[in-house]
Structure 1
Amino acid sequence: MAAGKEIRGKIKSVENTKKITKAMEMVAASKMRKAQERMRAARPYAEKVRSLAANLAQATPEYKHPFMVHNESAKTAGFIIVTTDKGLCGGLNTNLLRATTAKLREVEAAGDKVEAVAIGNKGFGFLNRIGAKVVSHATHLGDRPHLDALIGPVKVLFDAYAEGRLNAVYLCYTRFINTMKQEPVIQQLLPLSAESMVADSKHGWDYLYEPDAPSVINELLMRYSEALVFQAVAENMASEQSARMVAMKSATDNAGNVIGELKLIYNKTRQAAITKELSEIVAGAAAV
């Protein structure tokens, strides 16, 4: 019964794996609900800041913030790549990095260089493997992202664009659609486009500025850009927990199927051994 003992060992091993994947599925389901709540809570703020920034931009047409100016002479593009710190979340990171790679090749084919900011271990490792220039990174953000941990890394690219050294800044992340579907997004963050900042056409706004209009607009557009990055991180975290829950459920179901197949093989092997012993006993009795 050496074969039977080996099969029993495999069954025990797969059962232990199934317990782990089931536990991870339940943990991911719990974290997913909290991540979705944080993501939805951040959306109204980002929307309000966008609306206010658009109204301010139209109210003061004589002043153009550097974030709204195209730096056509610059030959470098910036990328903010938002990925997860951990794996075991299906093809979430793979799909995003595949889309990012296509965009990087498109930018390089146009003759531009690339500078990148990595948010998350997976993206940081990917950029190092392909030899991209990583100007800053943020990893180990935990389950609850904090804006303070994101401002420093992304400000490197924001300052570079304001100085005219970058011609564009792209934000790459995974957008949460529902529990079963998440899609990779490559979004142009800078220069801020008119399409992404549509003012409220129902009303005309007139503002009183303190200390002056440029100071207020500068601060507001910086906050708006930071809010877009924070919203992308929140969306990516909600997508991560959803993808991990689905992946762990699939792994648990597959482990159950493997256990069933191994038990069937074990029973067949055991039955064959019993039948062989009975045949030998009958043959021996007949010989006597």
Structure 2
Amino acid sequence: MPGIKEIRTKIKSVQNTRKITRAMEMVAASKMRKAQDRMLVFRPYASKLCRIAAHLMQANPEYSHPFLLERDVGSAGLILISTDKGLCGGLNTNIGRLVLSKIKEFNQENIDVYATAFGQKGLNLLTRIGVNLLSEEVQLGDTPDLNRLLGAIKVQISAYMEGKIDVLYIATTKFVNTMKQVPVLLKLLPLSNDLKDPYELDSSLCNNDSIYSWDYIYEPDIKTVIDELLNRYVEGLIYRAVVENMASEQSARMVAMKAASDNGKRVIDDLQTIYNKTRQAAITKEISEIVGGAAAV
């Protein structure tokens, strides 16, 4: 049985660790609220953009943008969105497992994969398995900056426009609620003909008005407007994926740190019980020795 001093040292160590996890839990809870607010604010913008794009494409069926054309797949692009830091439960593990499964499927079909990584954990995974890396962006912070993301995004879009890749997927974690985050793999390009929301959130907004005819006045011309709008639409989808992932990250971290704090409390209670029993046994032994010595005299 460990000694009293050793048990006391263990209790102190677990208490210090629990203080850290409690502090991280509170910090994550604060960041989670801000991340969720940012995500909820962006969702209506993404839905409105989806509706406008759908209207324009229906009003001008004679113009087929390259983003809408299906191709024979010989190579694929993959954007992996992960976190920069750990201690967020199985968030990165789940999305990593989904990506590895998709890459394995591509390899079996002899499809080359060209990847982009957002977040240090995803970059480490892609580097470790030796995927062709086109671009990367790490240390995104708590507030995503679209200007920082655009460089890495445009590399993949340019590769698609030039025919280097024939399809583009994005892997992220979709925020459902504080306790549930779902890893998803979305087909980003080519876009569906009806421009249905790939997140299946308010997707009906893109299609409800399709029975009406829409007429627009374009400035400077139809091609320029649709090209710019679809570029914004794709960039918006990627930005939304980053925002969803950040909300999921803070929620998962808060839940993980709360679980760690609760486990720490249970460990402290168990160690405290062992400490009390050990101390009681030591006191009983000393009393027995005193009584035995007095009886011998």
Q: Do the structures match in fold with TM over 0.5?
A: yes
Corresponding residue number in structure 1 for 2:121: 122
Instruction: Check the 8 A contact 1:82/1:172 in 2, yes or no.
Output: yes
Corresponding residue number in structure 2 for 1:85: 84
**TM-score normalised to structure 1 length:** 0.97
Corresponding residue number in structure 2 for 1:104: 103
Q: Distance in 2 between the 1:108 and 1:207 partners?
A: 45
- State the Cα distance separating 1:20 from its structure 2 match: 0.5
Aligned residue identity for 1:167: D
Deviates more, 1:254-263 or 1:158-167: 158-167
Residue 280 (structure 2) pairs with residue 284 (structure 1): no
Instruction: Check the 8 A contact 2:58/2:210 in 1, yes or no.
Output: no
Q: Distance in 1 between the 2:50 and 2:138 partners?
A: 27
Report SS of the residue matched to 2:170.
strand
**TM-score normalised to structure 2 length:** 0.94
The 5 Å alignment of 1:159-238 reads: 159-197=158-196, 198-199=206-207, 200-238=209-247
Aligned residue identity for 2:150: I
Instruction: Check the 8 A contact 1:71/1:166 in 2, yes or no.
Output: no
Change (3 A) 1:262 1:77: same
Q: Distance in 2 between the 1:220 and 1:245 partners?
A: 37
- State the Cα distance separating 1:167 from its structure 2 match: 1.5
Deviates more, 1:33-42 or 1:100-109: 100-109
Report SS of the residue matched to 1:204.
coil
Report SS of the residue matched to 1:36.
helix
Deviates more, 1:259-268 or 1:194-203: 194-203
Q: Distance in 1 between the 2:249 and 2:213 partners?
A: 41
The 5 Å alignment of 1:1-288 reads: 3-72=3-72, 74-197=73-196, 198-199=206-207, 200-288=209-297
Q: Which segments of 5 or more consecutive residues in structure 2 lack a partner in the other structure?
A: 197-205
Report SS of the residue matched to 2:114.
strand
Deviates more, 1:193-202 or 1:246-255: 193-202
Instruction: Check the 8 A contact 1:71/1:164 in 2, yes or no.
Output: no
Instruction: Check the 8 A contact 2:55/2:210 in 1, yes or no.
Output: no
Q: Distance in 2 between the 1:217 and 1:148 partners?
A: 22
